[in-house]
Structure 1
């Protein structure tokens, strides 16, 4: 039985130590025979992108020319043409995985440091005869403090130097190209970074006569208008593409064979429930490889994907999103689906005001999958793709529940105490703890770009999601649904007999109609009665005395419950 090594992203280390590895070397052959000049492959995080890039580098690079044993016995080695191809190209390999900075200056500096290190790895060129005096001068200017001209042309010039030295064009591999993009959006320096990256990508991948081919990997397909405006030859492979469908992630056959190898054949259904659900092109039943490997090592299920990297962008977009978006999340977390228009091309500038863009990002990131596709046709002859989306699998549901809990991490004790007080019917304690929670977390639900009157809605819809997560398994939660003669805000229906049910009505203080928050509470309670919100619960056999109704009045960060 092979050893399961966690976190290995270096292909040679896996092979030389005989660690658990599922053969993905067919990717080498498929990519090479497709013949695309520049390929962008978008896959969720921890789906083997970095390992496959390491595999590509070690297969093609002249630096590994004498290490054919790395590939002996693997799929690509069955074709003698590829035995002759191994180790025959100069390769430039770099990664933007660690460019996670809070401002443009630091992000640019980090990229410059990566380029300086890349040049240091090729310092042997300075001792060769291929660099003329101007080339040597440029080479030495590649430092962390270099100017934009040197930084954006660094890959282009290194391609030229290596091409001269080896007499062959170079292969360029850039892993996690979009990590800096996501951080730039998060921290507000998107425009500055995209101008810098666009110039670098143009010289590296468009106007570079010394490049044989290139591969870029990332999570998202960033809009062509932002950084790929000049790359008309770019081949984009997304989650809906058939190309390389089985090259990233594990197929069901591969997973089941692995379970048998580790004497876990009786766990197939458990593993399928937790980690299956990804679809690439027309290939279904693709499993999350990171989670499967961790399962093999730990021999028990867990939300392993949650601990791989920050979910901050997804969390920010949902937390600051509209009430409608949070209601959609309620349905998703409870096993339902939503319908939406979607464009796989991510336009980051649209994420804050276009919910369809957010759903597109969630699909690209692996949190959601396409359940069905409906093509909308219009009388004008135009058409749009409407997708039915659902959460990918049980693990993703656990990850998103944890994300919701983290919204209230700063007020965790008060939040938990509020839930206890609610269930006990202690209104005084509910008021005390709810106000503490609001004071600590209220502002985090506001984007700062919307009218103040929308803040309470964003907060209490987030609060409702938190209730749903905390009370899962004990209560079925619905919100803003039809009941009787109107719409209520939140209904908590007990899943066990004998438990109380709850109706919570939220209202924002209206100074033109109400004297104080007491009036707002009375208005909320009156609406519950006038609209007969209890009708649905009564129809299900829950007695009136077991239905508790509360009005929540908001005025800024102040809350009154009655």
Structure 2
């Protein structure tokens, strides 16, 4: 990249730093105008990760915040300073006390760690306003409360009341209402769902946010950002003044992500206009309120990498939650997702208030979550007799890579040897060649399975990952009901020329080495017997599958035995 040009910022969410150090800045300052004009008391803006939420919130903070530092100069070259009725907006600059909190980094393994990080975050914001300890507008009781928060010896009730208290103290001190900004409010909530402390984090967030937002006379207004609108848990209980804008709404649609015009300007500035088609194919395609939006993170990374296309968004955070959705989805949902992965479309209603525990309840919730998080896009809206349905598809080539590399694998299969043997494995599995299958699986298991992997859930996931490679010829399903029970893995052929396959596993958890071979064979025979006795092949028969191969496998660490029926 030409050193004479401004640098494109990667991962910088500090608005002041970008302006003062003259990074390339895509001007989203008219977002401030929209917020002022809306007159909303509380606004929630939901967008996928890495679409500029934190930078925008930092910009809003620096525009409105009353401070000893001069900040008007940061905005004097921007659209907000030169728009129609500009004096109406300029007079709001630097006028209000601001409480600004970002929860984007609160991703912990337990509720205890999460609670400590939440308290640390709150304490740091209180410390930013520690001058209130000297305010003559606060009572002795108020200063004692401030001291408890600052010294980290406050009670649970104190922490839950911290938003309400701080905005009240600021209004008393400045004689003007405060502005409350909370960025990525739902990050710890999703983490809580993934790691089984959801109820605890929801309980805290409900009390904390309600105290700060519900009937709070100390606020000028509040703005929150996140990925989802989590309403059904009463996290915004009784909050009748909440205005929510998702990716489906026209309001605020151009302020998160890059528009076509903005990307054209970037491409012209960095002399890569000839790459416009590649940029569009890889990173355009998000539909926010009816206009096309580019993924800003990936556009910046693409140009900084010398115009090299790659799934940059994929590496920014874990896709664990999407993996869990795929694992628990129905065969119909799997079929629909594989259809869109192959360039097709699906039609569904959308729920903009998806709740984490209910994501798996029905396909509409799953597809709604994938739209809100950026894994699917709305391509069209269909008017139907009973209402409206949305036509969904994959946004672009980058997200297609996410599906192919992450979602369809379900479990992380990293070893290159597995890919090397895939063609041979397919042939052995589909023809029932036990000798070849035994040889190949032994090669793969030695280079990809640990001596300490001894649980059935591991081997189940490992085999599911292997069989998922054959999505082009088979629908691969796991833990579904068929006949008189639930099979481990079923592979339903997409064409009559391929066999249907059923795999059942059993695991020898502990035994003496000299008994392993005999015991594993007995387990494999037992697994095959279970397939037959429970009539797991009933589903394949109902789907007119002409040929069915049944495999029973017994596992023990890096050893196994396989039989066929």
Match of 1:131 in 2: 138
> In structure 2, which of residues 103, 114, 127 is the aligned counterpart of residue 107 of structure 1?
114
Gaps of 5+ in 1: 378-382, 447-455, 469-475, 482-486, 494-500, 535-548
Secondary structure of 1:290's match? helix
In the alignment, the residues of structure 2 paired with residue 356 and residue 526 of structure 1 have an alpha-carbon distance, to the nearest angstrom, of: 28
Equivalences for 1:139-288 in 2 at 5 Å?
139-142=146-149, 143-283=151-291, 285-288=292-295
Over 3 Å counting, the alpha-carbon distance change for 1:212 and 1:338 in structure 2 is same
> In structure 2, which of residues 499, 502, 508 is the aligned counterpart of residue 506 of structure 1?
502
Q: Tell me the alpha carbon deviations over residues 380-437 of structure 1, each in whole angstroms, 9 at most, x when there is no partner.
A: xxx4543222111110111222214764436735633551432564743433555848
Over 3 Å counting, the alpha-carbon distance change for 1:433 and 1:169 in structure 2 is farther
Match of 1:517 in 2: 528
In the alignment, the residues of structure 1 paired with residue 157 and residue 60 of structure 2 have an alpha-carbon distance, to the nearest angstrom, of: 29
Note if contact 2:9-2:23 (Cα within 8 Å) is conserved in structure 1. yes
In the alignment, the residues of structure 2 paired with residue 245 and residue 35 of structure 1 have an alpha-carbon distance, to the nearest angstrom, of: 18
In the alignment, the residues of structure 1 paired with residue 190 and residue 81 of structure 2 have an alpha-carbon distance, to the nearest angstrom, of: 38
Q: Residue 478 of structure 1: CA displacement?
A: 4.6
| Matched residues, number | 511
Secondary structure of 2:99's match? strand
Query: Structure 1 residues 238-247 or 432-441, which shifts more?
Result: 432-441
Note if contact 2:503-2:553 (Cα within 8 Å) is conserved in structure 1. no
Q: Residue 115 of structure 1: CA displacement?
A: 0.8
- The reply on whether 1:45 has 2:43 as its aligned counterpart is no
Note if contact 2:347-2:391 (Cα within 8 Å) is conserved in structure 1. yes
Equivalences for 1:147-546 in 2 at 5 Å?
147-283=155-291, 285-298=292-305, 299-377=307-385, 383-404=386-407, 407-409=410-412, 412=415, 415-416=418-419, 418-422=421-425, 425=428, 427-431=434-438, 433-434=440-441, 436=445, 463-468=466-471, 476-479=472-475, 489-491=492-494, 503-506=499-502, 517=528
In the alignment, the residues of structure 1 paired with residue 468 and residue 297 of structure 2 have an alpha-carbon distance, to the nearest angstrom, of: 28
> In structure 2, which of residues 60, 67, 70 is the aligned counterpart of residue 66 of structure 1?
70
Note if contact 2:434-2:563 (Cα within 8 Å) is conserved in structure 1. no
In the alignment, the residues of structure 2 paired with residue 340 and residue 441 of structure 1 have an alpha-carbon distance, to the nearest angstrom, of: 41
Match of 1:54 in 2: 58
Q: Tell me the alpha carbon deviations over residues 133-162 of structure 1, each in whole angstroms, 9 at most, x when there is no partner.
A: 101111111154532210111111111111
Q: Residue 515 of structure 1: CA displacement?
A: 7.7
Q: Residue 314 of structure 1: CA displacement?
A: 1.3
Q: Residue 375 of structure 1: CA displacement?
A: 4.4
Note if contact 1:99-1:110 (Cα within 8 Å) is conserved in structure 2. yes
> In structure 1, which of residues 546, 550, 553 is the aligned counterpart of residue 551 of structure 2?
553
In the alignment, the residues of structure 2 paired with residue 37 and residue 70 of structure 1 have an alpha-carbon distance, to the nearest angstrom, of: 26
Match of 2:515 in 1: none
In the alignment, the residues of structure 2 paired with residue 187 and residue 261 of structure 1 have an alpha-carbon distance, to the nearest angstrom, of: 45
In the alignment, the residues of structure 1 paired with residue 527 and residue 62 of structure 2 have an alpha-carbon distance, to the nearest angstrom, of: 71
In the alignment, the residues of structure 1 paired with residue 371 and residue 548 of structure 2 have an alpha-carbon distance, to the nearest angstrom, of: 37
Note if contact 2:41-2:220 (Cα within 8 Å) is conserved in structure 1. yes
Note if contact 2:473-2:495 (Cα within 8 Å) is conserved in structure 1. yes
Note if contact 2:502-2:550 (Cα within 8 Å) is conserved in structure 1. yes
In the alignment, the residues of structure 2 paired with residue 349 and residue 405 of structure 1 have an alpha-carbon distance, to the nearest angstrom, of: 22
Q: TM-score, normalised by structure 1?
A: 0.82
Note if contact 2:97-2:177 (Cα within 8 Å) is conserved in structure 1. yes
Note if contact 1:371-1:389 (Cα within 8 Å) is conserved in structure 2. yes
Q: Residue 113 of structure 1: CA displacement?
A: 1.1
Match of 2:28 in 1: 24
Over 3 Å counting, the alpha-carbon distance change for 1:219 and 1:445 in structure 2 is farther
Q: TM-score, normalised by structure 2?
A: 0.81
Q: Tell me the alpha carbon deviations over residues 472-519 of structure 1, each in whole angstroms, 9 at most, x when there is no partner.
A: xxxx435389xxxxx9713589xxxxxxx854522559x9xx987389
Q: Residue 372 of structure 1: CA displacement?
A: 2.7
In the alignment, the residues of structure 2 paired with residue 532 and residue 210 of structure 1 have an alpha-carbon distance, to the nearest angstrom, of: 68
